[in-house]
Amino acid sequence: MKIKNQSLYGQDSEIEEKIGDRSIDSFVKVRGWILIIATLGLAIFSLLNIASASFYTSMRFYKTEYFFVKRQFLFLLAGIIPLFMGLGINYRWYEKKQAIKLIVILTFILFGVVAIGTAFGINSIVPIINGSRRWIDFKIIRLQPSELLKIAYIILIAKGLNACKKRKYKDMDVILTIFPFVMFFVLSVFFQRDLGTALHYIAISFIMIFFSDIELKHIFKFIAVIVVIGVTYGSYAYFLGDDTSYRNRRIRAYVNGVIYDDYDNGDGYQIKQSLIAVGNGGLIGKGLGNGTQKYSYLPEIHTDFIMASVGEEWGFVGVAIMFLTYIIILQIGITIAKSTKDHFGKYLAIGITGYLFSQIIMNVYVVTGLMPVTGIPLPLMSYGGTSLWTTLFSIGVLYNINKHSLKEGTKDANQEERGSE
């Protein structure tokens, strides 16, 4: 039976494929299980590193060595729920009107609470943490809406790109269709004083647009505009920005570090200590629990700077194994996107893969001083529930796309055959 197979660039090619072939079915199942095993492997590995990186801070503030690792373990147990939700819900449901309405309502509620809390200075609900208001405090737990809504953002863009594909929109028409979604999310996050997450949203949209039908010249024009805006804003922050702005001081610390190799003991201190941690690890590291940067030298070492702790205690070998696991997950995501027969599933898969890839890259750039400190966690590794739950749900959705990829291909092929009779 002939079916159509679309590449990531939307080019159609007819291939001969036996949908019911056992070898293909086995490959898809194995691919899915490797995805889950690699994901849970990293999450479990993170517990070891969080236990080591956080025990001093935990003992200092909470009089117990295991405060943070216990909470992370509970977050991981709770993460089984979003993981199984992603696994169990057919990804095509997210394209339906009721799903889109639900996503839009949740987006407005979550961003609305943050906006109201910020406007009226309600610190008990929307506290200021590290210079930004991006959390909703439920007393027993804090949730970060901008992190939770990344998957909603991906779904909306995938829906928009799929609609453009069906209507045969070209180039700028596609960009103009999804541009309102991008700007709404980016500006909503930017005004929370969370520049890093705003940049992450932009990166996700770029990756998804890149693998659409838009000609590359239009994509590069769009990128050029964003780069000009970014350079202009960065120049203003560095030369003319107010010193009272946390964001401006971070940009100055970043530029001084990259250009002049000058990491002061103020806003450049965190990057300085991070580089020391990574450098001290050498080839095989100091050994689990033997790192020194966690003793109040490197702030937030168990959260956004967990990679520095891995580098110090596990060395180059440990970091390489961690990244090899990430590469396996990302490669599986790409192969799922390529093998999925419907465009919505393709865009959704590449969006999730792009979300993970860009977040990993941004965190690594921060830890190694190649990017200003932005508060971007390392997926599956950094301490925190919101990021972990979002990642686990996304992996579940990716697995579901993989599971249904052949079924959707069979359905599309049968429809084409009936249409040609």
The set of residues, in sequence order, having a beta carbon less than 8 Å from that of 136 and lying 6+ positions away, is 110, 113, 114, 117, 125, 126, 142, 143, 144, 145
Mean pLDDT on 301-321: 96
Q: What is the pLDDT of residue 22?
A: 65
Angle between helices 343-367 and 385-420 (to 10 degrees): 150
Q: What is the pLDDT of residue 266?
A: 73
Task: Supply the DSSP symbol for 4.
Answer: E
Between 33 and 193, the more confident residue is 33
Q: What is the pLDDT of residue 32?
A: 93
Cα separation of 412 and 389, whole Å? 33
User: Given pLDDT bands bounded at 50, 70 and 90, which one contains residue 84?
Assistant: very high
User: Strand (E) positions, 247-389?
Assistant: none
User: Given pLDDT bands bounded at 50, 70 and 90, which one contains residue 107?
Assistant: very high
Cα separation of 420 and 114, whole Å? 53
Mean pLDDT on 328-334: 96
Largest CA distance in the chain: 74
**pTM over the 0.85 mark:** yes
For 203-229, the DSSP string reads HHHHHHHHTSSS-HHHHHHHHHHHHHH
User: Given pLDDT bands bounded at 50, 70 and 90, which one contains residue 365?
Assistant: very high
The set of residues, in sequence order, having a beta carbon less than 8 Å from that of 160 and lying 6+ positions away, is 177, 178, 181
CB 352 within 8 A of CB 397: yes
Tens digits of per-residue pLDDT, 238-276?
888 877 777 788 888 888 887 877 777 677 888 999 999
Tens digits of per-residue pLDDT, 3-50?
444 445 444 444 444 444 567 778 888 999 999 999 999 999 999 999
The set of residues, in sequence order, having a beta carbon less than 8 Å from that of 329 and lying 6+ positions away, is 35, 38, 39, 42, 356, 395
112 pLDDT above the threshold of 50:
yes
